[in-house]
Amino acid sequence: MSEKNTFKVRKSWDTAILALLFSVWVLASFTTDNFLSSINVSQIFSNSSEILIMGFAMIFLIITGEIDLSIASILALSSAMLGWSYAAGAPIWLAILIAMAVGTACGFINGFLVTKLGLGSLAVTIGALALYRGIANGILGTNTINEFPDFWTSFGFDTFGKTFIPQTLPVIILFGLFFGLLLHNTAFGRRTLAIGQSPEAARFAGINVVRHKIIVFTFTGFMSGVAGVIYTFRFSTAQADNGIGLELLVISACLLGGVSIFGGVGTMWGLVAGVLLASSVESWLTLQEINAQWRTIVTGILLLISVAAPVMVDKYKRARATLANKA
Amino acid sequence: MANKGDLLLEMKDVKKRFGGAIALRGTNLSVRAGEIHALLGENGAGKSTMLKILAGVHEHDAGTITFGGAPFISGSPQASIDQGIAVIYQEPSLFLDLSLAENVFVGRQPKKGLAIDWKEAEAQARKLFNELGVELDPKRQARGLSIADQQVVEIAKALSMNASIILMDEPTAALSASEVERLMTVMRNLRAANKAVIFVSHRLDEVFAISDFITVMRDGATVSEKAISNTDLQTVIKEMVGRELTELFPKTDHPIGDVVLEVNDLTNPAYFRNVSFTVRKGEIVALAGLVGSGRSEIARSIFGVDSYETGSVKINNKPLKKNSPITAIAEKIALVPEDRRQQGLFMVAGVNRNISMESFDRLKGRIFLNFKKERALTNQWRENLSIKYADQSDPVDRLSGGNQQKTVLAKWLATDPDLLIVDEPTRGIDVGTKAEVHKLIDKAAGEGKAILMISSELPEVLGMADRIIVMREGRQVTELSRKEATQENVIAAATTGKKGI
């Protein structure tokens, strides 16, 4: 019964979130002068870069019923490795590879600890959150590294010519296509959903749940590494406290986008809409000159609503059904 | 206190239905003080419903129940306890971190002033344990006690609440032989204290060893009420199965070919020991026995979702390299599990997504799944199995039980398995669909698949199987051919562990 209702709710959730996104745009463009200006739209997109990149992989993890809270720390560690190895004289391409490899390794370690040792992903990745950030601190201390080749910093920061399209956008779109197709059009994606819908039935269907989850954790680590590279070039800064708190934005974007925190449900479109909604609201509040604390409060409220709303709707429907049965 | 032999409980013409299903169609039960009373019947005969009415879990629709000379107040567990009825469940629910004395008196601790008088509680608990004839330290923690001892603590708790009737639902099912002996001693001591014990058991040898009176139920009605001296094992078995085999089964004869599955000396000490059998091409072999006799665990071990300690499984004369469902599926084994909602299906996913789950290789282009092929596959199996649904992306949760089961079958038949294991293939589905499922199983055998069927429904076992292996408590009791098997000899083997009666 509840499964059925949740499923229905999720379908309408997609429409609701698009409608909400649209109304935020309309409202924002009426209440502020330059919300839809090319610079601001460009800002919304580039501010979404890391959230999208990490979200593309995180959505798989949440769908399987797991979570990774250490992604922002992986981002920082990857950023630190990039800065440190480049400063130490490595060619930039090697430094980028090292950064991404370190991210991948972090993800693999998380996955290994969660699946092979059977530890809860919440507990493991809270530990990892502290550990990876700590290592980043150990590498860079309070130093910041801001000297990077122009080509790469302008890749991170600039738009194409006079347009408002950030140069990073094609990269993000490519990743989005890759993970979107992976989720919706391949056996791998089907198995991801299946594991989240019923881990027991997945085992009876011959799915290697442990291996699958390790792969998904590793993807998440890799994408956090990529996000670390993009972040570093976007701000021309490698430092240990890069991206603090970003994991919350990624998770809330997933949940806003209709990914079920209980696993088994989620679409790539939903995620993209969720990210854009979160960034648009943030940008709108910034333009209204509402300060950072309030913006965090709004993000928190959005997160709570996106977790609570499906459950509330479900409860409401069930209560109504019970009443109808009694009548 | 009641005197020995006084009529304590009388249920007359008690009826109960759950929605459209009739659970009790007029049952009688009379129990006297100082009596051990066995309630017998096949799965689904209505024994548990009877116990639950007495326990106050369900309320009866019609009929009269008198208890201790007064009308029985039904429909509330608390009222049942207050009237003196206690239920001991198969899995006791003690507070494992509390002491035994605390467990016995939980919520009703003897007090000295405002403080709990633990000395008194311990002394009383010790006295109760002594009455029951067991040595247990009231101060020890409940954690670590065997199931049998936990049951004893529950019984002591019942006595401390002045229970006059103790109900036990298959109390021995989870016990070892020596523990059963102990529980029997406890039951005898209860009898000596003029309490009445009503117990449900499928172990007929135990029933005859201990009870004074036997009530046999079949299909929701009481078939016989007899003192132990007026009946015997054969009579009881006849009364339990009693029905004529009127259902028709579509089983046809197929040529039987080479051995597909060979199980050798398979042992998992917790569930089954030294199990060996074969299933051939075109043959339907049934594992019969009571719930809990280890049948499903054997199937699950062959398929690799459970493990076994020793022994081997060969498929098409090749040993299975690894005990894992991935290997099993690669070797063309399919398992339609017992619990389709939890194990067989992804309830929120569409019919098409469930059916295609094992056929991704055939649905793939180079990399991506071809949705057109998936639709075609779903339609093909919808026709083959006449699965009824509105839209193929409907979550299977919306389908009827029968159509859900067909969906599971479709998923596995689509892999064209050599060995098809079906565990309780028709549980909880309507009569019409049942016949369809039987036809499908027969058809699969006709196509040369080897079928291993587990079923608790005797008519289904007798009607479908070429050979029947009867299990009891994890051991093979006997193997019967289609010709030899009768309801009586299968039930006798499953309940007593003896080959013939």
In a domain, A122, yes or no: yes
Percent of chain B with pLDDT over 90: 53
Nearest residue in B to A5, CA atom: B348
Half-sphere exposure of B167 (CA within 13 A, CB side): 20
Place of tokens 């550990």: A131
What's the confidence (pLDDT) of residue A1? 34
**What is the SS3 assignment for B227?**
strand
By CA distance, what is B358's nearest residue in A? A205
pLDDT tier for residue A2 given thresholds of 50, 70 and 90: very low
Q: Which two tokens stand for residue B105?
A: 């008196």
Q: What is the pLDDT of residue B238?
A: 84
What is the tens place of the pLDDT at every residue in B122-181?
999 999 998 888 888 999 998 888 888 888 899 899 888 889 999 998 888 767 777 888
Q: Is the residue at B361 inside a domain?
A: yes
Closest CA to B389 of B403, B402, B378, B410: B403
Boundary-marking domain end, from B363, B382, B415: B415
Q: Which has more confidence, B415 or B245?
A: B415
The model's pLDDT over A17-61, given as tens digits with 9 standing for 90+, comes to 888 889 988 998 888 888 888 888 888 888 899 999 999 999 999
CATH code of the domain covering residue A292 = 1.10.3470
Q: Are residues B30 and B65 in the same domain?
A: yes
C-alpha dihedral (B354, B355, B357, B359), degrees to nearest 10: -170
CA distance B427 to chain A (A): 18
pLDDT at A4: 41
In the predicted model, what is the mean pLDDT of chain B?
89
State the Cα–Cα distance between residues B90 and B170, nearest whole angstrom: 6
Which residues from A are below 8 Å from B338, CB to CB?
Answer: none
Q: pLDDT confidence of B245, banded at 50, 70, 90?
A: low
Inter-helix orientation angle A268-287/A38-63, to 10°: 140
Strand B419-423 vs strand B450-454: parallel, antiparallel, or unpaired? parallel
A198 and B347 within 8 Å at the Cβ level: the answer is: yes
pLDDT band at B183; cut points 50, 70, 90: confident
Q: Does B397 touch chain A (CB under 8 A)?
A: yes
Confidence tier at A295 by pLDDT (50, 70, 90):
confident
Domain boundary pick from B221, B241, B261: B241
Counted domains in chain B: 3
B250 and B166 within one domain: no
Give the pLDDT confidence score for residue B135 in this predicted structure.
Answer: 87
* Cβ contact B326–A208 (<8 Å): yes
Distance from CA of B404 to the nearest CA of A (A): 14
Could you tell me if B281 and B296 lie in one domain? yes
Provide the number of structural domains found in chain A.
Answer: 1
Contacts within 8 Å (CB) and 24+ apart, B312-315: B312/B263, B312/B264, B312/B265, B312/B266, B313/B261, B313/B262, B313/B263, B313/B264, B313/B266, B314/B261, B314/B262, B314/B263, B314/B264, B315/B260, B315/B261, B315/B262, B315/B418, B315/B419
Same domain? For B421 and B398 the reply is: no
Chain A contact present for B245, CB below 8 A? no
pLDDT at A248 over 50: yes
pLDDT recorded at residue B246: 58
Domain range spanning residue B322? 245-332+417-501
A53 close to A59: Cβ distance less than 8 angstroms? no
- Whether residues B180 and B90 share a domain: the answer is yes
- Structural domain ending residue among the three candidates B200, B217, B241: B241
Give the model confidence (pLDDT) of B403-412 as tens digits: 999 999 999 9
Chain B residues lying within 8 Å of A3, measured CB to CB: 347-348, 395, 397
| Cβ pair B187, B210 in contact under 8 A | yes
- Range of A225's domain? 2-320
Interchain CB contact of A208 with B (< 8 Å): yes
B424-466 pLDDT, tens digit each = 998 877 777 888 899 999 999 999 999 999 998 888 899 999 9
Question: Is B319 in the same domain as B384?
Answer: no
Min Cα distance B360 → chain A (Å) is 6
Q: Least CB-CB distance to B368: which of A185, A198, A265? A: A185
* Contacts with A181 from chain B: Cβ below 8 Å: 368
User: Is position A326 within any domain?
Assistant: no
Q: In chain A, where do the E strands start and end?
A: none
Task: For chain A, say whether B365 makes contact (Cβ under 8 Å).
Answer: no
CB spacing of A190 vs B360 below 8 angstroms: yes
What's the CA gap between A283 and A59, in Å, rounded? 24
Chain A interface, best mutation among B306, B324, B348, by max A CB count within 10 A:
B348
Q: What is the mean pLDDT of residues B43-57?
A: 87
Confidence class for position B252, pLDDT limits 50, 70, 90: confident
Residue B113 lies in a domain: no
Q: Which chain B residue has its CA at the smallest distance from A198's CA?
A: B346
Contact B342 A197 (CB under 8 A): no
Of residues B325, B328, B347, nearest to A3 (C-beta): B347
Query: Contact B325/A203, CB-based, under 8 Å?
Result: yes
B359 and B217 housed in the same domain: no
In a domain, A325, yes or no: no
Whole-angstrom distance, CA of residue A270 vs CA of residue B44:
47
Whether the Cβ atoms of residue B266 and residue B287 lie closer than 8 Å to each other: no
Cα-Cα-Cα-Cα torsion B35, B57, B169, B33, nearest 10 degrees, comes to -10
Q: Two tokens at B164?
A: 């006059």
Q: Is the domain of B293 the same as that of B364? A: no
Q: Please, are residues B397 and A3 in contact by the beta-carbon 8 Å criterion?
A: yes
C-beta atoms of B348 and A205 within 8 A: no
**Count of pairs with CB atoms under 8 A, one residue in A, one in B:** 67
Q: Classify each residue of A144-170 as buried b or exposed e, where b means 16 or more C-beta atoms within 10 Å of its C-beta.
A: ebeebeeebbebbeebeeeebbbbbbe
- Whether residue B62 contacts residue B13, with contact meaning beta carbons closer than 8 Å, is answered with yes
List, for residues A171-192, the tens digit of each pLDDT value.
999 999 999 999 999 999 999 9
CB-nearest partner of B335 from A4, A200, A204: A204
How many C-alpha atoms does B339 have within 13 Å on its Cβ side?
A: 10
Residues B68 and B149 in one domain: yes
Same domain, B306 and B377: no
Lowest mean pLDDT among A90-99, B175-184, B275-284: B175-184
pLDDT tens digits for B344-385?
999 999 999 999 999 999 998 888 999 999 999 999 999 999
Q: Which residue of B has its CA nearest to A264?
A: B348
Of all residues in chain A, what percent carry a pLDDT higher than 70?
Answer: 95
pLDDT score, position A3? 40
The enclosing H or E element of B215 equals strand B213-218
Contact B299, B313 (CB under 8 A): no
| pLDDT tier, B327 (very low <50, low <70, confident <90, very high otherwise) | very high
